[in-house]
Structure 1
Amino acid sequence: MNGISNSNDIIPTFDYTGKIRILESSNFEQSQQLKDQCREFVDKITEFSTIVSSFLDLLKEKSEQIEKEKLKAIGLRNKAEKEAENRKILEQRLIILIKERKAEFDRLTAQYDSLVKIEQEQASFIETLSGK
């Protein structure tokens, strides 16, 4: 080089505390402020990330609870629908049973009436035979 300092050359300087700095003190202070601001930004991003992570965990937990309750509701609905079908089947069976019992009752009533009639005829026949 020709002895003339280029603007790109690094020139050491001293700050107000007497420390050697490669940057000028104003640039160094600005870089320190930028460093502090970056650190604050990173801290805030980390905090935000933690909050988002907690929120996502909470959402996942709630979605699992919702899914569980949804399946439970579907099961209860299916059970209720099945119960309605079971009641209809039971009602049909009971109607058939009632009809069968009524038919049996009618048959037994007719048989009873027939036996009463035969008893009366036999009593009448016995009476005529005994000559009364």
Structure 2
Amino acid sequence: MEDLETKGLFIDDLQKLRVLDPELMEQTESLKDECGGFVAQIGHFQKMTDGFIAISDEVSKEVEKEKLASLGARNQLKSITKAREQEQQQLHSLVMEKKLELERLRIQYESLIKVQAEQEEFIDQLILQQ
């Protein structure tokens, strides 16, 4: 048997003639099994990473959608704020106009009261003269 081993031929447990050493063959089979398990684990890992990538893509799309919605809401809020500021300025201007008109009418009223008093005095003098 040793002659066969020196020539690179081996006899396994089933008494079959082999080119590889049975111990090497066993190690090869063990390595093959381990590699198969490793390939299965890599496949499982690939599925998990694909799932994670799909989920993160969905989340990123949702985040982008919410980002756009919040930008739109912020812009709308800014425009509402500007509109209210303009409305406030318009109301302030209107109040100022009304105050000026009130002052003008007050002065006109006082003037008319003065004219009325003068006319009543004039009428009283005319009545007294007759």
Shorter-chain TM-score tier:
0.7 to 0.9
Query: Structure 2, unaligned stretches of length 5 or more?
Result: 1-6
The 5 A counterparts of 1:105-120 are 105-120=102-117
- Higher share in helix: 2
In structure 2, the CA distance between the partners of 1:89 and 1:43, relative to structure 1 (3 Å rule), is same
Which of the numbers 67, 70, 78 marks the counterpart of 2:67?
70
Cα distance between partner residues in 1 of 2:43 and 2:71:
41
**Paired residues, what number?**
122
Residue of structure 1 equivalent to 2:53: 56
Cα distance between partner residues in 1 of 2:46 and 2:87:
60
Residues 106-115 or 72-81, more deviating: 72-81
Instruction: Report the CA distance between 1:21 and its aligned residue.
Output: 7.3
Which of the numbers 28, 35, 39 marks the counterpart of 1:38?
35
Letter in 2 for 1:93: Q
Aligned-CA RMSD value: 2.7
Contact 1:13 1:21 in 2 (8 A): yes
Cα distance between partner residues in 2 of 1:79 and 1:26:
78
Identity level (%): 34
Cα distance between partner residues in 2 of 1:97 and 1:23:
108
Instruction: Report the CA distance between 1:14 and its aligned residue.
Output: 6.4
TM-score, structure 1 normalization: 0.72
Query: Structure 1, unaligned stretches of length 5 or more?
Result: 1-6
